[in-house]
Structures are given as structure tokens and as C-alpha cells.
Amino acid sequence: MGTFVFTLFINTFAKHYQADCRAWVLMQDFQAFKQLLHTPKKIVIVTHHNPDADALGSSLGLSGLLQKMNHQVDVITPSDYPVFLHWMKGHEQVRVYENAEKPAINKLVENAQLIFCLDFSSLKRINDLGEQVNRSQAVKVLIDHHLDPEDFADFYFCSTGAAATAELVYELVVALERTGLIDQDIAEALYAGIMTDTGSFQHSNTTQSVHRIVADLIELGADTHKVSRLIYDSNTLERLQFLGFALSKRLVLLQEYNTAFFAISKEDLVRFNSKTGDTEGLVNYALSIKGVVLAALIIDRGELIKLSLRSVGDFSVNQLARKHFEGGGHRNAAGGKSTVSLQETVDKFIDLLPLYKSKLTSTKQISNV
Ligand code: 5GP
Ligand code: MN
């Protein structure tokens, strides 16, 4: 990776460097990047598997903006996403990388002149699509806020100090001096990413910059109440009943380790007719127990066991996920997977806890880092 950091980015990102010394931004030559956008291009935007509001919101926000700059843009997701995100402008045009669609999408990736990779730091996160992206001759741009970005892109617009990829997209638009193109739809897509990745402005990643950007987005037309209702108040009765069941029957507290976890079987998901996104946010209930430092949601998804990990303070679930569950993410929110059974995965998780006991029991409960 190059080391030339364009001064505009030093200015734009000074706050991230202050907020998080591990944060970094590399944009080898911003003018060259800007130049690429001067003439209409065939652009593909890809985001991670199981897209959340930040993945989809940053992708559709950027897509809306690039279309206004006269580019031809296709947004591709490796898998489908929750119904409560379908309100976003551009949702109908999103291409989901499913079997029947694969040949056509592979062509799009192959023929793209520019590929933006949003909200993931490793091509492994986008499954088979990663190979296609790697192979494509397109200029690649990574916009992301996860730890340890992989070395595959031509331009990096990354900062672990950013709360959301949508925040970085907004800052990129500022750097491009194109905020005038942000309309209500774009503002709301970006707002959705920031709102959810900050846990509605409750997580420790909620910086001054986040609030300032949100103020800008409101000025640009975002209806924050509408977005909040669309995302959080769209439960089905079954989803709420599943939540009740999970809380009463599947939540385990291991007081000795300040740890709580849910283990959800395939049968549990079938019983409550669980849909994509229905388990989102569940892990936070485990983390909300007083004294809990580490929370996990362990779900049997059939083809594999998926783990969602959360922590408070300086206990790093990113490290835990990387080391033991082939995953990663952020310090306080990460994910991983396992290919053994649900019970064996739960046993492995519990067996790991003694290794981390001193950290789990000494971690400060309230962190402003
Ligand atoms: P969630 O638990 O909400 O699915 O994900 C929490 C964070 O961890 C997100 O930033 C997500 O991108 C990341 N993450 C989730 N699963 C994986 C995984 O399997 N591998 C990696 N590297 N990151 C993951
Ligand atoms: Mn994100």
C-alpha cells in the first residue's frame, strides 16, 4: 500500500486520528480518484454478506450520488437482507448474488470500470463474489470502518474511528464537494447506517463528528423519525414472540465470567418462522445485563453456525472472533462462524472463557474510548 496521504484527507480525518490512534486513511492520490469520477463510468458497488442498514444504506446512498454524477451504477449484495430495509431508494434495483443471477452479475463485475467495496475489510466476507471482484480489472475502492483492511484495493478510504461506513461515504462526498447532490433519499439511507451502527447513538463510537454529520443529513432532508420507525418499529408478532422465547428459554448468564449468550437452534428458527433480520439486535439483550462484558448470539444457520459477538470496554471481540471463530469485525462488535454442531460450538465458546477470565472480570463496565 502506498503511503501518500492527500492533505485534504488529513484535514477531513484529523478527528478520527484523534479519536482512535489505530485509525488510518490511505488515499494514495485523491486527485486521481476524483479524476476517475469526472467522466461517466460503469460502476459496481458491493457490500458484505447479510447486509445490515449500514452496508445497504452506505451502498444505496453512494449509488444515488454516483448516479446523479451520471455514472451507471449497480449495487450487488452477496445475500438478501431484511424487509425492514426495503424502503431505501434503489432497493428494487439491488442485485442479490443468488444462483440464477450469478452469471449476469459476474459479467457486471468483469465489465465494471470501478468497483466500490463497502463496509467490509476482507474479500472473504463476500464469499464467491470476492473471487470475481479480485479477478476484475476494474479500479477498486475500499470504503470501510473495520479493523485490518486487506490489501486488494487501489484506493482506500478507511478509518476505524468512523462509527459507520455511511459516515465515511458522507465524508467522501464532502471531500468531493458534492454535498449539494445529497437529496432526502440519499440522506436517509446514510442516516440509517449511522443510526444503526451507533446503536441509536448509544455506543462508544458516537463521536462529535457523528452528531455533526447527522445534523447535516437532517438539514439535507433526512426525516430521522421516519427512518427510526421504518427500521425499529416493523416487528411481526412472530418476531416478538421469538424474542420472548429467546429471552426466557435460550439466554444463559455465566456470572463468573461476566458473559451471557444465546444459543438458537434451527428448530427454534423454524418454529417462529424466522426471517432474515429477525435475530438482529438480539445479542444486545445479553449485553444489557448488568455486569456483562461479553455477549454472544450463537445460531445454527444450517450450512454453518454463525456467531455474533459484542463487548463493552477494552475487551476485544474482534480478537476473539479472529482467533477462534474465523471472523473479525470491530473491537466491541464482531462475528464469526463454526462448522461443528451448535452444541460443540457452545462448548467451545464456554471452554474459552477461563482463558479470558482475568480480562473479563477486570474490564471497566463503562468506557468512553
Ligand atoms: P453482526 O454480529 O452484527 O453480524 O456483525 C458485527 C460486526 O462483525 C459487523 O461489523 C460485521 O461486519 C462483522 N462480522 C460479522 N460476521 C463476520 C465474519 O464472519 N467475519 C468477519 N471478518 N467479520 C464479521
Ligand atoms: Mn458498518
Minimum CA distance residue for ligand 1 atom 11: 329
> How far, in Å, is the centroid of ligand 1 from the Cα of 40?
33
Name which of 369, 349, 368 is nearest 360 in CA terms. 349
Minimum CA distance residue for ligand 1 atom 6: 334
Question: 122: how many CB neighbours lie within 10 A of its CB?
Answer: 17
DSSP state of 43: E
149 contacts 142 by C-beta, under 8 angstroms: yes
Q: Is the CB of 334 under 6 A from ligand 1?
A: yes
d(CA 133, CA 342): 32
Q: Is the CB of 130 under 6 A from ligand 1?
A: no
78 contacts 127 by C-beta, under 8 angstroms: yes
d(CA 261, CA 349): 10
Q: Is the CB of 305 under 6 A from ligand 1?
A: no
Helices (H), 177-277: 184-197, 208-219, 224-232, 237-249, 266-271
307 contacts 345 by C-beta, under 8 angstroms: yes
Nearest ligand atom owner, CA of 148: 1
Nearest ligand atom owner, CA of 196: 2
Minimum CA distance residue for ligand 1 atom 13: 329
Question: 248: how many CB neighbours lie within 10 A of its CB?
Answer: 8
d(CA 315, CA 183): 39
Q: Is the CB of 333 under 6 A from ligand 1?
A: yes
Nearest ligand atom owner, CA of 330: 1
Cell numbers for 236: 411481526
pTM of the model: 0.90
Pocket test for ligand 1, best of 117, 123, 125, 264 (most atoms within 8 A of CB): 125
Q: Is the CB of 277 under 6 A from ligand 1?
A: no
Q: Is the CB of 336 under 6 A from ligand 1?
A: yes
> How far, in Å, is the centroid of ligand 1 from the Cα of 368?
22
Minimum CA distance residue for ligand 1 atom 7: 334
Q: Is the CB of 163 under 6 A from ligand 1?
A: no
486527485: which residue's cell? 31
Environment class of 275 (CB within 10 Å of its CB; exposed 0-12, middle 13-18, buried 19+): middle
Chosen CATH of 7-232 out of 3.90.1640.10, 3.30.930.10, 3.30.450.20, 3.40.50.1100: 3.90.1640.10
Q: Is the CB of 78 under 6 A from ligand 1?
A: no
d(CA 319, CA 330): 9
Name which of 291, 333, 87 is nearest 198 in CA terms. 333
> How far, in Å, is the centroid of ligand 1 from the Cα of 159?
16
CATH class of 237-362: alpha beta
d(CA 230, CA 194): 15
Minimum CA distance residue for ligand 1 atom 22: 328
| Per-residue confidence in pLDDT tens, the chain, 369 aa | 332 333 345 444 444 443 343 234 445 578 889 999 999 999 999 999 999 999 999 999 999 999 999 999 999 999 999 999 999 999 999 999 988 999 999 999 999 999 999 999 999 889 899 999 999 999 999 999 998 889 999 998 999 899 999 999 999 999 999 999 999 999 999 999 999 999 999 999 999 999 999 999 999 999 999 999 999 999 999 999 999 999 999 999 999 999 999 999 999 999 999 998 999 999 999 999 999 999 999 999 999 999 999 999 999 999 999 999 999 999 999 999 999 999 999 999 999 999 999 999 997 765 433
> How far, in Å, is the centroid of ligand 2 from the Cα of 164?
5
What residue ranges do the domains of the chain occupy?
7-232, 237-362
> How far, in Å, is the centroid of ligand 1 from the Cα of 309?
8
